[in-house]
Amino acid sequence: MNKGIKIATIGGGSSYTPELMEGFIKRYHELPIKEIWLVDVEEGLEKVSIDAQMAQRMWDAAGYDVKVHATLDRNQALKDADFVTTQFRVGFLEARIKDERIPLSYGMLGQETNGAGGIFKALRTIPVILDIVEDMKRLCPNAWLINFTNPSGMITEAVIQYGKWNRCIGLCNVPVIAMMKEPEAIGYRKEDLIYQFVGLNHFHWHKVFDKQGNELTSKVIEAMLEGKAVGLPANINNVPFFHDQIKRLGMIPCGYHRYYYRQEEMLKHSIEEMNTTGTRGQQVKKTEEQLFELYKDPRLDHKPEELAKRGGAYYSDAACECINAIYNNKNIHMVVSTQNNGAIPDLKNESIVEVSCLIGGNGARPLAWGPLPSAPRGWLQVMKAMEECTIEAAITGDYGTLLEAFTINPLIPMGASAKKVCDELLLAHQKYLPQFTDKIKQLKEEGLLIKDAVVRNLVENEQ
């Protein structure tokens, strides 16, 4: 790789791109990038252009000789790439808003990676990522695919199990934030703690130890229950966990566990939010517009503070760290989505899990955790089953399989309303769900209408 590294970023027109650039710039001394290709689709042309110019300014200001390209031609970007990062969002934020509002309009959780919304985000994204993988087989067969498009775990599972592409690592900012915030909450320095994570993407727990191997998990639990910020992503409402339950659990849940452990309150909060400030997607849309206004400023040549407010902050930095660890065979501890291989013996060997890994020149090697107690074991198994049904439905377009995914999803109370939610989501996302064409056609013939007016508008505007 002494020619200098080529990076291709799919979904290059994301508002996170400056964070990604910052991450690369601060690692340039050991990660000698030569060129960066930001790829996007037609509708994202303006944003990717703004990003590319902003990015180029950042590199220039840093004084490194790196060329940033914006392109709509994925082939050109992928050709001989060393690392491909994926941060695209099929259907843009409008799709996220649909994922949120349709379930909420029936009194069910609307969220982009949990419940019905999470299932549909996977349905839209998986066919696209599998296309990308086919391109990579032709154009850059030795490249690493560093995915941070959500739902990151399911995307990674689709890439590895169905796309048969093993050089893929799925990233998430949730463990990063936890490891960043918890130490000070319990009066330690980050480098003096040992972390062990186990679970699935957006559904993991962890334990903490000091350097002598003494467990500090309960300390963090106490701090969390006292209300100390211990690493909650910005997009998640801070309802406290039930003390007795978490003490019994003996592991620190991740922020997203609130959707399951405090289902009632999280749902209520989401409905209130929709009715007041708008859903998270609607809020983010505004933030994004503001960010791109900033990025347009030809004098801006560094990542603006405002970006950190988004829920996905540190995602891109984690990607840079991961690429660096692979490129330089650093053998560092990171928490990523990779093939289980026994690390969680309660799940299949071939399942994708998100666990503590050693990251080095041959990718991610998961640390074996051993068997889990009843409750976390059952949770992981049911969530993985839901993921499997979802991935299968995304690939086959089978409506019965999709209903199976809905039924087993712990956040969806199955019944006529839930089926309605499913059908409306199919209709609302029709542009991005070619695998369900027949079913959608049938729904239209049956005269299905979308209940929520905001979503109806979004759909009409698309046509």
Q: How many beta carbons lie within 10 A of that of residue 99, not counting itself? A: 30
Give the whole-angstrom CA distance, residue 347 versus residue 190.
30
Q: Which is nearer to a second copy, 54 or 357 (CB)?
A: 357
Q: Which is nearer to a second copy, 2 or 463 (CB)?
A: 2
Residue of 388, 423, 424, 452 that binds a second copy (CB under 8 A): 388
Q: Which is nearer to a second copy, 388 or 452 (CB)?
A: 388
Pinpoint the alpha helices (H) of 105-241.
Answer: 115-139, 152-157, 174-185, 217-225
Q: Which is nearer to a second copy, 39 or 109 (CB)?
A: 109
Least Cα distance to 80 among 7, 157, 24 occurs for 7
Give the whole-angstrom CA distance, residue 169 versus residue 153.
9
Residue 222 binds to a second copy (criterion: CB under 8 A): no
Residue of 137, 275, 289, 378 that binds a second copy (CB under 8 A): 378
Residue of 227, 371, 461, 463 that binds a second copy (CB under 8 A): 371
Residue of 72, 308, 382, 453 that binds a second copy (CB under 8 A): 382
256 is catalytic: yes
Q: Which is nearer to a second copy, 296 or 365 (CB)?
A: 365
Contacts 24+ apart (CB under 8 A), 394-400: 394/122, 394/123, 394/125, 394/126, 394/127, 394/158, 394/435, 395/126, 395/127, 395/130, 395/158, 395/162, 395/435, 396/435, 397/433, 397/435, 397/436, 397/437, 397/438, 397/439, 399/436, 399/439
Give the whole-angstrom CA distance, residue 9 versus residue 17.
9
Give the whole-angstrom CA distance, residue 429 versus residue 404.
19
Closest approach of Cβ 20 to a second copy, in Å?
A: 23
Closest approach of Cβ 328 to a second copy, in Å?
A: 8
Stretch that binds a second copy, among 38-46, 116-124, 296-304, 405-413 (CB under 8 A): 405-413
Closest approach of Cβ 16 to a second copy, in Å?
A: 27
Q: In this structure, what token pair is assigned to residue 53?
A: 């110019």
Residues 179-218 touching a second copy, rule: CB under 8 A, are: 194, 196, 209-213
Closest approach of Cβ 79 to a second copy, in Å?
A: 19
Closest approach of Cβ 301 to a second copy, in Å?
A: 33
Given CA atoms 60, 64, 66, 68 in this order, what sign does their dihedral have? negative
Closest approach of Cβ 58 to a second copy, in Å?
A: 28
Least Cα distance to 422 among 385, 463, 393 occurs for 393
Residues 311-370 touching a second copy, rule: CB under 8 A, are: 326, 328-329, 331, 333, 339-345, 349, 356, 358, 360-363, 365-370
Q: Which is nearer to a second copy, 14 or 201 (CB)?
A: 201
Given CA atoms 328, 329, 333, 337 in this order, what sign does their dihedral have? positive
Residue of 410, 451, 456, 462 that binds a second copy (CB under 8 A): 410
Q: In this structure, what token pair is assigned to residue 439?
A: 């079913």
Residues 6+ apart with CB under 8 A from 171: 146, 147, 148, 152, 315, 318, 319, 322, 336, 337
Residue 403 binds to a second copy (criterion: CB under 8 A): yes
Residue 437 binds to a second copy (criterion: CB under 8 A): no
Tell me the per-residue interface mask from 257 to 296 with a second copy, x by CB under 8 A, - otherwise: ---xxxxxxxx-----------------------------
Q: Which is nearer to a second copy, 76 or 166 (CB)?
A: 166
- Secondary structure element (H or E) that encloses residue 439, with its range: helix 437-445
114, 325, 458 from 197: Cα distances, Å:
20, 19, 39
Closest approach of Cβ 418 to a second copy, in Å?
A: 7
Residue of 26, 73, 242, 306 that binds a second copy (CB under 8 A): 242
Tell me the per-residue interface mask from 135 to 174 with a second copy, x by CB under 8 A, - otherwise: --------------------------------x-------
Closest approach of Cβ 60 to a second copy, in Å?
A: 30
28, 64, 106, 256: the active-site residue: 256
Residue 72 binds to a second copy (criterion: CB under 8 A): no
Q: What region, left, alpha or beta, does residue 73 occupy, with left being phi > 0 and alpha being psi -120 to 50 degrees?
A: beta
Q: Is the peptide bond before 151 cis (omega within 30 degrees of 0)?
A: yes
Q: Which is nearer to a second copy, 229 or 382 (CB)?
A: 382
Give the whole-angstrom CA distance, residue 201 versus residue 303.
27
Residue of 218, 283, 287, 417 that binds a second copy (CB under 8 A): 417
Length of the chain: 463
Residue numbers annotated as active site:
256
